[in-house]
Structure 1
């Protein structure tokens, strides 16, 4: 599991996928999210604007990312 640090209260799912370089663009992020290929805390979430906060786990292409808040 990869720990990913953010320094804001939350990050949206679409932006997160770009932030960790899991996708090349927002358009690709939208497609993989709508296709149900991304799990948030073990469940499919098709909302590109889903707010991810500390402790949330995102799974995509066999990689699990956990959100950690950093000052």
Structure 2
């Protein structure tokens, strides 16, 4: 079972785009790499392959990539 890290939305954010999450969490080197791995079908959101680079992630969404998981949580 892999460790699930958490990404907290800022208080002024309702969502974060998928490619930006990969970049912010260090799962990709930069935005171009993040967009590429998403387009290749290597990233899943809530257990389903997601190919939309700008998919809006909301609190509660779970992103998986290369055996790592990140859960989006609401700002505290």
Q: Which protein shows a greater Rg?
A: 2
CA distance in 2 between counterparts of 1:13 and 1:53 reads 10
Deviation above 2 Å: which 4+ runs of structure 1? none
Equivalent residue for 1:55?
A: 60
CA distance in 2 between counterparts of 1:25 and 1:3 reads 20
Gaps of 5+ in 2: none
Residue 28 of structure 1 and its aligned partner are, at CA, apart by: 0.3
SS of equivalent to 1:59:
strand
Please report the RMSD computed on the Cα atoms of aligned residues, expressed in angstroms.
0.7
CA distance in 1 between counterparts of 2:7 and 2:35 reads 20
Gaps of 5+ in 1: none
Q: TM-score, normalised by structure 2?
A: 0.89
**Structure 1 residue 2 and structure 2 residue 9: aligned?**
no
Residue 37 of structure 1 and its aligned partner are, at CA, apart by: 0.5
